Amino acid sequence: MLNKRTFLFFLALTSFAIVLHPSAASAQSPKKNSSKSEKAVTSAEVVQDAHGWSYVKGEWVHPNGYKFVKGQVLRTTAKIGQPAPEPPGKLALGNPEKLTPKAPAPQNTKSVAETAAEIKRKNLETKPAPQTGSHL
């Protein structure tokens, strides 16, 4: 009876120690960022995979006069006889926002109301009468 009681005591103690031990807890929980396929994609990798294509206004265009539409390279303004470029790669197709050129900051920061108020002020301003004759 005493042997059975001590055996159960040690069994409970070891199971309790395993639950509280930090290395045992980390071994049980899977790591979230351990997959190799989920790595951060840089814009340089996307540019390299794009093969010269750029994503403008929702469509893929090439500077030589080609468009990439529905998986096909279409000639728009290219010279006849010029070979078609390679289509953009899977990485570029999956990340077109990294190829979209950033819009420059607007130069005119006036609102529509401010512009209308300025035009109204200029129209209501009194101007001197024109000098048409000379008194020599």
pLDDT tens digits, one per residue of 8-59: 777 777 776 676 665 554 555 555 554 444 456 677 777 777 878 888 888 8
DSSP letters, the chain, are -HHHHHHHHHHHHHHHHHHH-HHHHHHHSPPTT--SS--PPPHHHHHHHHTT-EEETTEEEETTTEEEETTEEEESSPPTTPPPPPPPPHHHHH-GGGTSPPPPPPS----HHHHHHHHHHHHHS--PPP------
pLDDT tens digits, one per residue of 118-133: 999 999 998 888 887 7
Quote the pLDDT of residue 81.
Answer: 78
Domain positions in the chain are: 54-100
Quote the pLDDT of residue 101.
Answer: 60
Quote the pTM value.
Answer: 0.43
Quote the pLDDT of residue 123.
Answer: 92
Quote the pLDDT of residue 98.
Answer: 73
